[in-house]
Amino acid sequence: MGSLQQRARTGAGRLAGLPAAYPRLASLASGALAALGFQPYGLWPLALVGLAIFVAVVSAAPTWRSALARGWCFGWSHFALGNSWIAIAFTYQGNMPTWLGVVAVLLLAVYLAVFPALAALGGWWLAGKRRRAWPMVPALAGSWIVAEWIRSWAFSGYAWNPLAMIALGPFDRPGLAGLSSFTGTYALSGVVLALGGCWWLATRKADRRLAMVMLAVVPIVVLVWAFPAPEQHEGTLRYTLVQPDIRQEVLNERAFFEENFAKTASLSLPENMEPRLVLWPESGIMDFLREGYPYRFYLRFNYLADPLASKRRIARVIGGNSMLLSGTQDLEIDDGTLVGARNSVTALDGSGQIRASYDKSHLVPYGEYLPMRPVLEPLGLSRLVPGAVDFFPGPGPRTLDLGQYGRAGVQVCYEIVFSGEVVDRSDRPDYIFNPSNDGWFGPTGPPQHLAQARMRAIEEGLPVLRSTTTGVSAVIDAHGIVRKSIPRHRAARLDGLVPPAGAPTWFARLGNWLALGWALVFCVIALVASRRGRV
């Protein structure tokens, strides 16, 4: 036993000593370790080690400039690894070299690292001049919440992979992420950072037995045991959710449009006459369904060259007692000239009539529009998906009243990652439909995307239905539990009853004001603790 305690003491001492000896190298390593907590890796113990080292190097920073630099080093490696899937998107773009994808990931990390740098600076300042160990943990947690919230909206926002995703449990239970209904995602990120900080505090304790308890027991209890799977309830609305497995290489090729439609249609046929909701992915319908465009656009893009014929054909596939929600594209025409497009979801009933539609609001830079097009286009840069015109954004979250088929909230693809921005709070839906095309995200992007959809379900207390072109498609209940799913690169359909909505959560009522309130709590604790105690 004495030998074991000696080894634990030695290991803890090394953990505490390494960041002080090589602070920037330790910061880079800690950022990469923290990213290993995200899907598909899910290595949360390594992520907490990374966060413990991050807290240590910031605490040891002698000046505010060094704290800023150490936070930036953490952020650069953290986002470079966490966003590595972006490089895969460049392999589907013939106008730009593949190697540019790696450069894009590294340059994006240069910008995103600014936010951990600001969090490190804020935590360093809040901890006070003496920078005691105990105040540093809530100080960094509070600063991180604010910095992550700013990242979600600054310069149109990039909310992918908040630290809170490390806390998400396996498909059958929410894990610590169950707290997000009371805190919001960004405040849960602060909690995760504080857990890593507790490991750092454990290395500083004189009583090594207490340190071992903190290191071994607390994270296991909190991240594994917390929020077990609640009792499941069934809804009343039937659904058919389709994943056609149409690969990115042929998705936008007109020569494959009919084959792709046939593949989707074969998975959508009704099994009986009961009313049902049919869910197709983003890019599920390539034909233009709106009438009134100049005929040349239908002739060029629609397989049947007639929007009425296209709608009738779809209606025959789904049957008279069905309502289809599918990704579509609408055009913006000015005096006969195409000036833009909209990434939409269209509700089409069994008679072929359009009943409602939604236009995507949060567009993907370089994917759906080219920022500063007059400057970048002459340099040879273009969008990562085909198209010479940019998409126009919609007005934001709205609820589509589909009568007996429920009240649908819609978030197209990337939109689902924005905490607090996925539903109309004045008109709460029954469920959220999240069609997506993840075929150009590689092997790591789709699991991360699904994880963030699960977090929105927990926050809002609403089921989320994800239909994707290539996977991962899933039915997620209001507790974030994946009821059914289809893995990547498998053509299949899911049938069942839409899980019922839960009561509005704290977060559903207050949004990100709740997360900022928790940030204030952490900061006040840090300020009080920095002026008291001896640790």
168-213 pLDDT tens trace: 999 998 999 999 999 999 999 999 999 999 888 887 765 566 666 6
pTM: 0.91
* Cα 188 to the center of its chain, rounded Å: 14
Q: Taking the alpha carbons of 466, 468, 474, 475 in that order, is the dihedral positive or negative?
A: positive
Q: What is the pLDDT of residues 268-305, one digit of tens each?
A: 999 988 999 999 999 999 999 999 999 998 988 787 88
Q: Which backbone phi and psi does 442 adopt, to 5 degrees?
A: 75, -165
What 3-state class would DSSP assign to 342? Answer: strand
CA distance 522 to 503: 28
Q: What is the pLDDT of residues 21-44, one digit of tens each?
A: 689 999 999 999 999 999 999 999
Q: Taking the alpha carbons of 205, 214, 30, 127 in that order, is the dihedral positive or negative?
A: negative
What tokens appear for 518 in the block? 């928790």
Q: Which pLDDT band, with edges at 50, 70 and 90, does 224 fall under?
A: low
CA distance 36 to 457: 23
CB atoms within 10 A of CB 21: 9
Mean pLDDT, range 137-157, rounded to an integer: 96
Q: Which of 128, 117, 102 is closest to 57 using CA atoms?
A: 117
Q: Give the CA-trace dihedral at 43, 44, 46, 51, to 10 degrees.
A: 140
Across 459-535, where does the E strand assignment appear?
464-466, 473-476, 482-486, 492-497
pLDDT at 4 over 60: no
CA distance 46 to 39: 13
Q: Which of 244, 279, 242, 278 is closest to 259 using CA atoms?
A: 244
What tokens appear for 402 in the block? 């589909």
User: What letters, b where the CB count within 10 A reaches 16 and e where it falls short, cover 210-237?
Assistant: ebbebbeeebeebbeebbebeeeeebeb
Residue type, 47: A
Domains and CATH numbers, the chain: 2-230+513-530 (no CATH), 238-499 (3.60.110.10)
Residues in a beta bridge with 400: 408
Q: Taking the alpha carbons of 505, 507, 511, 514 in that order, is the dihedral positive or negative?
A: positive
CA distance 517 to 112: 24
